[in-house]
Structure 1
Amino acid sequence: MVFMTLKESVTRNPIIETLSQPNYGRYVAGNSISLIGLWMHRIAVGWLTWKLTESGFWLGAVAFADLAPSIVIGPIGGALADRISRLLIVKVAQTIAMFQAVLLAVLFWTDAINIWLLLGLTFVNGVVIGFNQPSRLALVSSLVDKDHVSVAVAINSTVFNTARFIGPAAAGVVIVASDVGWAFIINAASYLAMLAALASIHILPETDAKKREKRGVLADIAEGFGYVRRHPGVGPMLFLMLVTAVCVRPFVELMPGFAADVYQRGAEGLATLSSTVGVGAVLAGVWMASRRNKSDAAVIALTSPVIIAIGIIIFASTDIYPVGVVAVAIAGFGMVASGVGMQTSIHLSVPSEIRGRVLSLFGIIFRGGPAFGALVIGAFSEFFGLQAPTLGAAILALVIWFFIWLRRQRIIAAMTSDLS
């Protein structure tokens, strides 16, 4: 009897139930490996940028080149995600990104790399991700049934941030023991695991992308923007996400400068800070995945930006390394709680036929917001150092959040009306 009770409790665990769905289980397995390589790549690019320039401005510029293309490409990717196979789009994007990583390694090992080439290749990668991200975000609803969407979103975030913990640590070891070229090669190899997983996934066409009446892509994009503008919940929540992305999220892109200039810790310190963000993020992801009450996702999305802002205010106010480490863990927790809450609300409240375009706006903000913020804060850092602009931006985010919080009842009601 005790054994049966234990077995029932395990099988009813929402995380195990979701991972037991074949398509999603395979996707998570491949994605887990690929994301570790991706985080190694990001740390390697940031560190290479710093070594080539020792400039906060260039850190911001490279981050901008990586993230900003989503602002232009994202809406097109979102329209395509609602027209053609999302699975096919992800496969093509992963293949291109794999070859880009190999090229970076070759350029580094042949001493042909310079900051302009690094900037250009990072921009190309940003364009690829801009096309890929809406399909990748919307694909979740095709891999699990509706009752498990919120858990799947949380698991994706946990996997992403577990990789944030493992990837930077591995990158630090690789960079110190050999060079950044090997970090790029390991990332390229990790894409093979993801491509193998995608090849084994079989989903019905009607759950992948809807057949749509023939009209222009621009009309589809306009429809997506119009939906967000008119929706009393989605619009304000995406605006809050934009404020958070621009004002507090750029600390991740600027972290190489903090590690080297503020905390005087070098590559090892950068790896530790990045990994600690992942620790806080994983804790938040596990907490979100373990919840069975999906109706409070909007509440969590609205409250979590305060946690991020407080973490960054502490991070930017000190040069004491252990305090900074704790602060980024707090920020990491808030980032994931906010992001998972937002994605879950969109998946559950936005109709399937327009979900790709709405999630493309989520992706634009997620990638483009930090790009713009990192560029601006990085530019100010040339005159005031990294700490003061980062601190000021976090305080500004906290002020704007307060005014949005005053409208919370209307926003939450709009996001949960379809769940009652």
Structure 2
Amino acid sequence: MPSPFRSLRHPNYRRYFLGQIVSFTGSWMQSAALMWLLYDRTGDVRWPSYLLVAQVGPTLLLGTWAGHLADRWPKRDLIVRTQAAFLVNAVVLAVLVAGGWAAPLLVLALQLLNGVIQAVDLPTRLAFVPDLVPREDLINAVGLNAMLFNSGRAVGPAATGLLFLLAAEVAPHVGRLSAVELGAVGCFALNAVSFLAVLLALRRIEIPGLPADHVRPPPGSMWDGVRYLAGRRRLGGLVVLTFVLCAFAWPVLTLFPGYTRTQLGLAEESYSFLVSALGGGALLGALACATYGTPARRGAFLVCGAAAAAAGLIGLAAATSLTVAVGWAGCVGGGLILFLSTGQSAVQLAVPDDVRGRVMAVWAMTLSASAPAGHLLAGQLADAVGVAAVFEGMALGCILVACALLVVLLKGFEPREGVKG
């Protein structure tokens, strides 16, 4: 049986992996705390959707420019700067909440600034992975990247729930902050500290042949990534289906606060368990991709991922207890990440180095474009017809993606490396 961790034998990737897993855990703590903080303050199920759109929206607007930047400048140096900016943003957020100055609109503005930083950080990190491992380990490294991201998704919200429980005990003795505010401040502060791990790891990574002051010549238009995918029917179609799946499935994350309170009748610590279950399932999906992912299995993995996400959403719509809902949330997460890890590895293997940053920026923009289309619409519909009905509609969209992929697979129409459609 192939080793799921074989990419860790490469020192540069190992350092990157260890630093990122700490950072992602802190980031998911902050994300879960932010969503509950604003939902607690406003009582409006739409606010978590606003936060998520503010986080990913700038990638949609700035993605082509950021991809061009990643192809022109040293990726490691860019990532050092973006991670340092994330650290500063987390510190400012903690200070504002602790001081009682964090009005919802101000928090939304800080989240928007965070999204601008992420617009540069995400495509650069995606394009950086092939510099850390040889080509034969790239599928494994992409799977491990998804695994470490979703390890943070699983551990971070669970830690947030524990901090909220601790804050509920401590808040009556520490002054004017509520339990939710105190827990949120702790999450933001720990997130700021977590970025030190990735900054230390990046300082120790050395890419042969690329001195620290290396600057590449301008590599053509920033729209070359779009043109590359448009000229390759298989890869372009995969990116379109990825958009559709994300638009229908990922809104489950921002609907969890309202779902927890309205359908399950529970409080914030239970919400964090649902987010952690989503991350735990995603972790298993990433591990499956890292261990068993091969070009020959791509089609089957893509179909199974979309189908599992649909089944999980149907199960969530019918669930009335936390235990059952946790299981179905894990199913959604596992299916989504099995699909996304497989799709991303297909794109990474097909793309030449000189346009990698711009193509991966298109991939990041695809994920970001699904946010306005999915999260905002889902939030509005949930406010009108209820969360369970929205989950059922989202499941139908995932089923359509699985059916489209199944037709493609039965025709033997599979994305192949470097082949034009």
Is the shorter-chain TM-score for this pair beyond 0.5, marking a shared fold? yes
Secondary structure of 1:139 counterpart: helix
Partner AA of 1:14 in structure 2: S
Partner AA of 2:111 in structure 1: T
Q: Contact (CA 8 Å) 2:293, 2:342: kept in 1 or not?
A: no
Q: How does 1:129-208 map to 2 (within 5 A)?
A: 129-178=118-167, 179-205=183-209
Partner AA of 2:216 in structure 1: K
TM-score by length of 2: 0.90
How far, CA to CA, are the matches of 2:372 and 2:115 in structure 1? 11
Q: How far did 1:298 drift?
A: 4.5
Q: 1:211 aligns with which of 207, 216, 237?
A: 216
Q: How far did 1:367 drift?
A: 3.1
For structure 1, which segment, 241-250 or 346-355, has the greater mean C-alpha deviation from structure 2 after superposition?
346-355
Q: How far did 1:268 drift?
A: 1.3
Q: 1:35 aligns with which of 9, 24, 39?
A: 24
Q: How far did 1:193 drift?
A: 0.4
Q: Give 2:255's aligned residue.
A: 254
How far, CA to CA, are the matches of 1:125 and 1:205 in structure 2? 32
Cα RMSD, aligned residues only: 2.2
Structure 2: unaligned runs, 5 residues or longer: 168-182
Partner AA of 1:47 in structure 2: W
Q: Contact (CA 8 Å) 1:295, 1:416: kept in 2 or not?
A: no
Q: Does 1:60 align with 2:49?
A: yes
Q: Does 1:96 align with 2:85?
A: yes
Task: Tell me: CA distance 1:214–1:391, structure 2 relative to 1, closer, same or farther (3 Å).
Answer: closer
Q: How does 1:228-377 map to 2 (within 5 A)?
A: 228-291=229-292, 293-377=294-378
Secondary structure of 2:100 counterpart: coil
Q: How far did 1:170 drift?
A: 0.6
How far, CA to CA, are the matches of 2:415 and 2:341 in structure 1? 18
TM-score by length of 1: 0.90
Partner AA of 2:205 in structure 1: I
How far, CA to CA, are the matches of 2:360 and 2:227 in structure 1? 14
Secondary structure of 2:216 counterpart: coil
Could you report, residue by residue, the CA deviation over 1:137-175 in whole angstroms, capped at 9, with x for unpaired residues?
Answer: 111100011111111111111111111111111111112
Task: Tell me: CA distance 1:136–1:214, structure 2 relative to 1, closer, same or farther (3 Å).
Answer: closer
Task: Tell me: CA distance 1:302–1:227, structure 2 relative to 1, closer, same or farther (3 Å).
Answer: farther
Secondary structure of 1:56 counterpart: coil
How far, CA to CA, are the matches of 1:394 and 1:127 in structure 2? 31
For structure 1, which segment, 369-378 or 341-350, has the greater mean C-alpha deviation from structure 2 after superposition?
369-378
How far, CA to CA, are the matches of 2:394 and 2:6 in structure 1? 41
What percent identity do the matched residue pairs reach?
26
Partner AA of 2:222 in structure 1: D
Q: How far did 1:377 drift?
A: 0.8
Partner AA of 1:26 in structure 2: R
Q: How far did 1:206 drift?
A: 5.5
Q: Contact (CA 8 Å) 2:22, 2:197: kept in 1 or not?
A: yes
Q: How does 1:19-30 map to 2 (within 5 A)?
A: 19-30=8-19
Q: Give 1:6's aligned residue.
A: none
Partner AA of 1:291 in structure 2: Y
Q: Give 1:220's aligned residue.
A: 222
Q: Contact (CA 8 Å) 2:93, 2:188: kept in 1 or not?
A: yes
For structure 1, which segment, 29-38 or 255-264, has the greater mean C-alpha deviation from structure 2 after superposition?
255-264
How far, CA to CA, are the matches of 1:35 and 1:109 in structure 2? 23
Q: Contact (CA 8 Å) 2:245, 2:397: kept in 1 or not?
A: no
Secondary structure of 1:14 counterpart: coil
Structure 1: unaligned runs, 5 residues or longer: 1-8
